[in-house]
Amino acid sequence: MTVPLADTSLFIAIEQGRPLRAAPPKRALVSTITVGELRLGVLAAPDATVAARRLRTLEKALEAEPVPVDAVVAEVWAALRAGLRERERWMPINDSWIAATAIAHGIPVATQDDDYDDVPGLEVVKL
């Protein structure tokens, strides 16, 4: 199996002890968008205990190979957003960046979210 791009939802599910449909991949890539989302979670934590738990999750994500947003990802993202608008479909901005990253690199997204369903050209692995 191709190494997937782990969506933020996977890290949060593991942090919160939510069940996964299957075992998480032994090796995964991580979007710099996911790193930013997890870092925001640490900064926005309501107390020190939650912040510490979220920091451990962020540190786990940082163990994965990062996949940055570059010019190719930006081009794919713009086309993806235009296509979504044309189809009158809504998708969270950060999820669309993660989807564009996966499409640009030809890799699947591993997620618990439904936001990636029906994105043209995107392989989704539901965990």
pLDDT at 76 over 70: yes
Every domain of the chain and the residues it spans: 5-126
Q: In which region does residue 19 sit, left (phi positive, over 0), alpha (psi from -120 to 50) or beta (all else)?
A: beta
The whole-number pLDDT of residue 99 equals: 98
The whole-number pLDDT of residue 24 equals: 80
Rounded Cα distance between 50 and 58, Å, is 12
pLDDT at 1 over 70: no
Model pTM greater than 0.85?
yes
Over the chain, what is the mean pLDDT?
Answer: 95
Write the pLDDT tens digit of every residue in 88-127: 999 999 999 999 999 999 999 999 999 999 899 999 999 9
Superfamily for 5-126?
Answer: 5'-nuclease (3.40.50.1010)
Rounded Cα distance between 110 and 124, Å, is 6
